[in-house]
């Protein structure tokens, strides 16, 4: 007899308004979302309306544990509702320094387990809470989301669960998604013609696999199995060669991850904070040492400065990194990143290459007020975890970039937490690359300041503006994304010709500059060569001045995947950033500045030049005095942008 609980938590479901069902209304605090919960003998489902209009139906909710069934014919023992209104302050605020958290929650009690159904002003979320003895094996978890007709899915499809989450977005009807049998990473965005947006994702992921999605009878779940055996493939990856028949082995008494659907419009997607609201609060009491900021980065530009002051052989060596440190110090950039090549061996995280003189470099950077960040593969971190962060703390290394995890099963989810928690003991921050998307760990351990899991600038010619303009509405909508912006060699897509060390970025110069305001990350790279930044002094000064954390975010204009313009406040300064795709030769907006406080303010803006549709590096810098009564014109070329600071 299996010593684990052999139980299946299965709730049979029906379609809209099932016969003999008992309906319960759950309304968001502001009254805009109404959930009609249908329960009865062996059935649980809910229908969601936004401002009186039905947008989706959810059923098929189940959690399977072991291989026996609970009495799935039983109706809930009770349904209780309560309202909550509270605020909290995230340690690393990507949108707001204070987040308002209002919701109505129904607890649907089945005795051995509960389902929590939370109706927020802009989202509906549910999770299982179980009360079972000992350790259990979770075989599966399901739900099915059935949107009304007319939605287009914007999805990141992957060939398998073994993915870096960097695939380009695809745009399909639900029928096409189902026909093509696509496995999709979460989050996923669904857009309707009336600008209703549904963002499907998860939060408070802990001791459990990451959520993937498929489309069968509705949009439903898929999870990687728990890995039992794997073998290394080189220095940074491995092949799983044997899996368990369960997705998680975990405690029987626990709360499972939240599954949410944000229900809003394009502007609302940009301003929402649902993943943060559903995440657990910080496990760290002392967080003053967590310092988000900007990194000067050498990998994208080939570590090859070429200015008139370069009289040394460039590469992964002491002289080159001192040059990067000088650049960072000049512009107030907090960190320099030593990417692959700094170590003599990628399997050894403690020995720099012979040309690096790492102890001397640390001392040089410290004298400049610049800190060093070290890159390493995840297998190297795993194999040296007992001494890695203790040693780095002794060296004065405050941050690491860990790369190439590329899978998201329960073991790997737990590895992220184990490493992040260990790093926190030694006051070291982490930027996870080759990573699945954020799902709450960054709030529990806020020394996790960013993830990759995005098709960013390192993809060179594969990083196209029509994909990037979706990132604020999908990937960035659930958490920090290390996109690595800042390319100064700008080209329209049809004219793109570039490679390291003369790397290029698609889109206009103003597009690249605006990304620092539009995109959210506790880490923002300056991806290009210091020489290029020196040659573009005004652009570099602006980029270096843009914060990485914010007190307030307002979306001024948005159409998911086509354009977005945001205003963000840090202290008394406002920054505005706008980007657009290439569907139109030009987009023009009239934007009132009524969010400004009273008085006269000075605006400095970088806008696409008149020739930017052909010569993407053409931009103009303009200045003017503005007040809260001012309306400004924002014009963006195709694949263009607009960036400004108001102070």
User: Over the stretch 466-484, which tens digit does the pLDDT of each residue have?
Assistant: 999 999 999 999 999 999 9
Distance of CA 154 to the CA centre of its chain: 16
What's residue 232's pLDDT? 82
pLDDT at residue 446 greater than cutoff 60:
yes
Q: What is the reported pLDDT for 534?
A: 98
Helix axes 410-425, 388-395, angle to 10 degrees: 30
- pTM (two decimals): 0.95
- Would you give the DSSP letter of residue 630? -
Interval 253-308: pLDDT, tens: 999 999 999 999 999 999 999 999 999 999 999 999 999 999 999 999 999 999 99
Tens-place pLDDT, residues 574-617:
999 999 999 999 999 999 999 999 999 999 999 999 999 999 99
State mean pLDDT over 171-175.
97
Does residue 5 surpass a pLDDT of 50?
Answer: no
CB atoms under 10 Å from CB of 180, counted, come to 11
pLDDT tens track for 229-254: 988 888 888 899 999 999 999 999 99
What is the distance between the alpha carbons of residues 370 and 326, in angstroms, rounded to a whole number? Answer: 9
Question: Percent of the chain scored above 90 by pLDDT?
Answer: 92
Q: 377-403 pLDDT, tens per residue?
A: 999 999 999 999 999 999 999 999 999
Q: Mean pLDDT over residues 192-209, rounded?
A: 98
Whether pLDDT at 19 is above 60: no
Average pLDDT, the chain: 94
CA angle (228, 234, 237) in 5-degree steps: 45
148 SS3 class: coil
**Please, are residues 154 and 266 in contact by the beta-carbon 8 Å criterion?**
no
pLDDT band at 7 (very low <50, low <70, confident <90, very high): very low
14 burial type by CB count under 10 A (0-12 exposed, 13-18 middle, 19+ buried): middle
With a cut of 50, say whether residue 330 has pLDDT above it: yes
Q: What is the pLDDT of residues 87-138, one digit of tens each?
A: 999 999 999 999 999 999 999 999 889 999 999 999 999 999 999 999 999 9
Residue 3 confidence (pLDDT)? 37
- pLDDT reading at 29 higher than 90: yes
User: What was the pLDDT predicted at 390?
Assistant: 98
pLDDT over 60 (residue 537):
yes
pLDDT per residue as tens digits for the range 355-379:
999 999 999 999 999 999 999 999 9
| 282: Cβ contacts below 8 Å, ≥ 6 apart | 91, 443, 444, 445, 446
Answer yes or no: is pLDDT of 4 > 90. no
Residue range 573-646 forms a domain whose CATH class is mainly beta
Domain spans in the chain, listed from the N-terminal domain onward: 7-278, 573-646
33-70 per-position pLDDT tens digit: 999 999 876 778 999 999 999 999 999 999 999 975 44
The predicted structure's pLDDT at residue 71? 47
pLDDT at 10 over 60: no
In the predicted structure, residue 72 carries a pLDDT above the cut 70: no
C-alpha to C-alpha distance for 167 and 29, rounded to whole angstroms = 37
Q: Which residue from 84, 73, 224 is spatially nearest to 158, judged by alpha carbons?
A: 224
CATH of 7-278, one of 2.70.98.10, 3.40.30.10, 3.40.50.150, 3.20.20.70: 2.70.98.10
């Amino acid at each position: 007899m299996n010593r684990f609980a052999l139980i299946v938590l299965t709730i049979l479901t029906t379609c809209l308004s099932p016969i003999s069902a008992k309906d319960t209304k759950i309304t968001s605090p502001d009254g805009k979302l109404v959930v009609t919960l249908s329960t009865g003998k062996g059935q649980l489902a809910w229908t969601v309306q936004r401002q009186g209009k039905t947008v989706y139906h959810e059923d098929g909710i189940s959690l399977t544990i072991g291989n026996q069934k609970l009495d799935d014919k039983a109706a809930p023992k009770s349904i209780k509702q309560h309202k909550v209104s509270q605020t909290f302050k995230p340690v690393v605020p990507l949108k707001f320094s204070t987040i308002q958290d209002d919701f109505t929650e129904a607890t649907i009690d089945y005795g051995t387990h509960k389902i929590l159904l939370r109706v927020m002003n802009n989202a509906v979320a549910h999770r299982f809470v179980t009360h079972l003895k000992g350790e259990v094996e979770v075989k599966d978890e399901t739900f099915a989301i059935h949107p009304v007709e007319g939605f287009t899915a914007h999805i990141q499809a992957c060939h398998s669960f073994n993915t870096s989450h960097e695939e380009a977005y695809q745009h399909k009807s639900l029928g096409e998604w189902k026909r093509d049998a696509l496995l999709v990473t979460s989050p996923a965005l669904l857009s309707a013609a009336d600008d209703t947006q549904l963002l499907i994702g998860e939060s408070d992921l802990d001791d459990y696999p990451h959520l993937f999605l498929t489309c069968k009878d509705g949009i439903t779940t898929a999870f990687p199995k728990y890995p039992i055996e794997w073998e290394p493939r080189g220095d940074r990856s491995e092949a799983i060669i044997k899996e368990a028949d369960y997705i998680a082995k975990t405690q029987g008494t626990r709360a499972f991850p939240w599954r949410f659907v944000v229900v809003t419009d394009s502007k609302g997607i940009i301003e929402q904070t649902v993943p943060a609201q559903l995440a657990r609060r910080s496990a760290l009491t002392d967080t003053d040492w967590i310092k988000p900021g900007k990194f000067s980065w050498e990998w994208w530009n080939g570590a090859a400065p070429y200015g008139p002051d370069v009289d040394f052989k460039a590469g992964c060596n002491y002289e080159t990194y001192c040059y990067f440190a000088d650049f960072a110090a000049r512009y107030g950039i907090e960190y320099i990143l030593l990417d692959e090549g700094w170590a003599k061996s990628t399997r050894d995280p403690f020995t720099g290459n012979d040309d690096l003189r790492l102890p001397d470099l640390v001392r040089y950077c410290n004298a400049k007020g610049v800190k060093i960040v070290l890159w390493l593969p995840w297998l190297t971190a795993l194999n040296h975890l007992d001494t890695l962060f203790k040693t780095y703390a002794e060296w004065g290394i405050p941050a690491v970039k860990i790369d190439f995890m590329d899978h998201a099963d329960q073991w790997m989810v737990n590895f992220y937490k184990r490493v992040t928690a260990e790093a926190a003991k030694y006051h070291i921050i982490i930027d996870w690359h080759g990573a699945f998307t954020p799902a709450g760990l960054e709030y529990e351990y806020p020394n996790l300041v960013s993830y990759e899991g995005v098709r960013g600038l390192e993809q060179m010619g594969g990083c196209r503006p029509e994909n990037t303009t979706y990132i604020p509405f999908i990937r960035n909508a659930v958490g920090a994304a290390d996109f690595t912006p800042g390319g100064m060699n700008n080209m329209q897509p049809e004219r793109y010709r570039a490679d390291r060390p003369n790397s290029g970025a698609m889109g206009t110069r103003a597009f690249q500059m605006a990304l620092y305001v539009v995109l959210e990350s506790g880490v923002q790279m300056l991806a290009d060569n210091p020489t290029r930044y020196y040659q573009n002094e005004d652009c570099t000064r602006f980029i270096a001045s843009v914060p990485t954390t914010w007190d307030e975010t307002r979306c001024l204009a948005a159409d998911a995947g086509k354009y977005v313009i945001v205003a963000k406040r840090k202290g008394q300064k406002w920054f505005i950033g706008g980007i657009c795709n290439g569907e139109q030769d030009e987009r023009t907006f009239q934007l009132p500045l009524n969010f400004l406080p009273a008085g006269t303010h000075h605006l400095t803006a970088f806008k696409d030049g008149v020739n930017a549709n052909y010569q993407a590096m053409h931009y103009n810098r303009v200045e003017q005095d503005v007040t809260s009564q001012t309306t400004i014109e924002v014009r963006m070329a195709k694949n263009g942008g607009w960036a400004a600071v108001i102070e």
